[in-house]
Structure 1
Amino acid sequence: MPDLSRLDPLKPFLPWLLLALGLVAPFALSAYDLNLLARFMAMGILALGLVLIWGHGGILSLGQGVFFGLGGYAIALHMKLADLPSGEIPDFMVWSGRDSLPFWWTPFSSPAFTIAAILIVPTLVGALFSWAVFHRRVGGTYFALITQALALAFSTLIISRQDVTGGFNGLTDFYSVFGFGLASPGTGSGLYWVTLAVLCVAFVALRWLLASRFGILLRAARDGENRVRFLGYSPTPFKVVAFAIAAMLAGVGGALFTLHAGVVSPALIGVVPSIEMVVWVAIGGRYSLAGAIVGALLVNLARDAVSSAFPELWLYLMGALFIFVVTLLPRGLAGLVKRKAA
């Protein structure tokens, strides 16, 4: 099995350090800070998918917010239904003039269906979308623009259907999930451990995938698509599978984020959030799985601190960070570590 240390210079010490910090955090942080950390870890799951498609596949997606939103809205639908008395509908539907649930809401009353939807729907949408685009050999800047348009269309659709999606305000006011009260300290702690476990499983699975023959051919397609075709391989299936996996990870991250944040709305899934997701990975290092997690944590921690004190300053600061990284640290913080180690 190929050694990925050349591709991921943060191996092996940083993943173990991150795991140790994650295990210690519940005993060292307040409930609020632990909840905040769990949200950012959920975002780290999405960031891992971007490393797969952007760093190792050369596929820049500016629309990961779509899949993040699909997972987030799936779990939100279930929680809204779980909290409703029998025969009633959510209050925002009443205010919008509806008198019954949409037919596609009803299956989300089942926990099993909801979990399946979180895993399958983003994966299926990502696979169908990417196949339609890659089958026509669209890539590079054109693909990035198409995914950005997809994010804009999705957020616009959510906003325009106020009567069934909550519109611009999104869905909130959740009280329980799968029978556990969200206000209970035990539930918050349990959700943190679930998020940490999912992040670890995603990290290990992607390391294995990138070290496999699939990862080798994915990087080969990134570096020379025509050469891969000349050798008898079609790059399309590899790119479609990678994009579908990244979409699934984004959906899972969106569902976990919604559980911790208690809200999902178009403000979290549109064009700007999708670009911010790319910035996390660029800063951490788009070739490094551990670097992407660090980037997601650091950028969002900085966002929480800066935007609380200077709300109007954050977007300028993030833009400056992105320009700095792209021009001086094209491999992000992971590349800086490798440079110093050398």
Structure 2
Amino acid sequence: MPVVGFLFSRKEWFYFAILSTLLLLILPLAFDIFRLNLIGKYLTYAFVAIGLVLLWGNGGILSLGQGIFFGLGGYCMAMFLKLEASTPEATSIQSTPGIPDFMDWNQITALPSWWEPFYSFPFTILAIILVPSIFAFIIGTAMFKRRVGGVYFAIITQAVAAILTILIIGQQGYTGGVNGITDLRTLLGWDIRTDEAKLILYFVNAVLLIGVLILAQAVRISKFGRLLIAMRDREDRVRFSGYDVANFKIFIFCLAAAISAIGGAMFTLQVGFMSPSFVGIVPSIEMVIFAAVGGRLSLFGAIYGALLVNAAKTTFSESFPELWLFAMGGLFIAVVMAFPYGLAGLVKEHVEPFFARLFASLRKRRPLAQPQAAE
């Protein structure tokens, strides 16, 4: 039996097949490269939404700072790409050739030591996973070991997101400041700005997303996943049963951070830059809305929620850019009040029963085979 046979029920396998067909076949055939690249950007946010389903939907831990980890993953990838674009030949007009242009503009004459490991692509891949995970471990240990949770934890993650944004902007000579790290051109000598590269990166992004979806489902159906749900519903009972609730919370927080960071790294490759505007409070709240609209209990819904909300944002902001934040706030209120389980809840409550009744009706109308008369 294939691996997914152990992970998904028959109905979930059907949904998995629909999603895979949509991402790998229908969307690439239906849209030109510009729109497909835009959809690829939307899918990078779906990584964060999947992490939030595990963290918030299953674990009951609402984090309003997932942009922290999305941004850290994106900055790690951007640092590697920027160093590759900053060869002495490409930066010969600078006062100090061989360093990123924003460092030269800020009169820095040597590459900082903590930038140098990012010359290595294997180190960069490890850093994309480890740096956000370590950061999440520090925050999680400080909070969960002291039993800080609920609204207090959500507010603290918002504060950390704001602090990190201010730090990135303030250290302009080392991080690119408010403009971020821009003008990213190649990955290991491969030009990522061409249409062919954008198409390949879309498929890499989609395959990684499907892989993360399978990983998240494996976590959900494991004993750890069942303990997460028990912690969400009756945390004291789990603690009194002898389990260390704080360690479980730290682990799922770190896992959600690592998944978000993968999305951030792919965002940098898809878009070609990374800036602090994707780290702060507003993008972090938007990421929660992606999960809420799709359904905070559904991995499939999280992906559709990220696609739908970002497509609406693009369409709406083109005509009414100043009203988008109000529309986003209204959307979040509507989700909480009208359909708290998001799109996945609507499908489960209305769409699935409709098709069940339809198929039952068709089976009743099917004529029975008439027995042949004996000769």
Name the TM-score class by shorter chain: over 0.9
* Rg larger in structure: 2
2:243 corresponds to 1:233: yes
Aligned counterparts of 1:99 and 1:297: Cα–Cα separation in 2: 43
2:259 corresponds to 1:259: no
**2:361 aligned partner:** none
Where does 1:1-342 land on structure 2 (aligned, <5 Å)?
11-24=12-25, 25-86=27-88, 87-340=97-350, 341-342=352-353
Amino acid at match of 2:15: L
Amino acid at match of 2:227: L
Aligned counterparts of 2:326 and 2:193: Cα–Cα separation in 1: 36
**Do 1:10 and 1:290's aligned partners in 2 also have CA atoms closer than 8 Å?**
no
**Do 1:10 and 1:337's aligned partners in 2 also have CA atoms closer than 8 Å?**
no
**Do 2:7 and 2:217's aligned partners in 1 also have CA atoms closer than 8 Å?**
no
SS of the residue 1:330 aligns to: coil
Amino acid at match of 1:294: Y
Amino acid at match of 1:179: G
With the length of structure 1 as denominator, give the TM-score of the two structures: 0.96
Amino acid at match of 1:22: L
Aligned counterparts of 1:329 and 1:183: Cα–Cα separation in 2: 41
TM-superposed CA distance for 1:2, in Å, is 10
* Higher mean C-alpha displacement, 175-184 vs 50-59: 175-184
| Deviation string, structure 1 residues 147-182 (Cα, Å, up to 9, x no partner) | 000100010100100111111111111110122111
Aligned counterparts of 2:16 and 2:307: Cα–Cα separation in 1: 13
TM-superposed CA distance for 1:231, in Å, is 1.1
Amino acid at match of 2:287: M
TM-superposed CA distance for 1:329, in Å, is 0.8
* Higher mean C-alpha displacement, 105-114 vs 186-195: 186-195
* Higher mean C-alpha displacement, 99-108 vs 180-189: 180-189
TM-superposed CA distance for 1:4, in Å, is 7.6
Aligned counterparts of 1:118 and 1:315: Cα–Cα separation in 2: 30
Aligned counterparts of 2:246 and 2:56: Cα–Cα separation in 1: 15
Aligned counterparts of 1:308 and 1:18: Cα–Cα separation in 2: 28
Amino acid at match of 1:30: D
TM-superposed CA distance for 1:41, in Å, is 1.0
TM-superposed CA distance for 1:304, in Å, is 0.8
* Runs ≥4 residues deviating over 4 A: 1-5
**Do 1:61 and 1:144's aligned partners in 2 also have CA atoms closer than 8 Å?**
yes
**2:370 aligned partner:** none
Higher RCO structure, 1 or 2 (CA under 8 Å, sep 6+): 1
**Ranges in structure 2 where 5+ consecutive residues have no aligned partner:** 89-96, 354-375
Aligned counterparts of 1:174 and 1:156: Cα–Cα separation in 2: 23
The share of aligned pairs that are identical, in percent, is: 48
SS of the residue 2:321 aligns to: coil
| Deviation string, structure 1 residues 240-277 (Cα, Å, up to 9, x no partner) | 11111100011100000111111111111100000000
**Ranges in structure 1 where 5+ consecutive residues have no aligned partner:** none
SS of the residue 1:11 aligns to: helix
TM-superposed CA distance for 1:23, in Å, is 1.3
**Do 1:158 and 1:168's aligned partners in 2 also have CA atoms closer than 8 Å?**
yes
SS of the residue 2:12 aligns to: coil
Aligned counterparts of 1:43 and 1:30: Cα–Cα separation in 2: 21
* Higher mean C-alpha displacement, 304-313 vs 54-63: 304-313
Aligned counterparts of 1:325 and 1:285: Cα–Cα separation in 2: 9
* Higher mean C-alpha displacement, 186-195 vs 146-155: 186-195
**Do 1:70 and 1:122's aligned partners in 2 also have CA atoms closer than 8 Å?**
yes
TM-superposed CA distance for 1:333, in Å, is 1.1
TM-superposed CA distance for 1:3, in Å, is 8.7
**2:93 aligned partner:** none
With the length of structure 2 as denominator, give the TM-score of the two structures: 0.87
Residues 10 and 281 of structure 1: CA distance in aligned 2, closer, same or farther (over 3 Å): farther
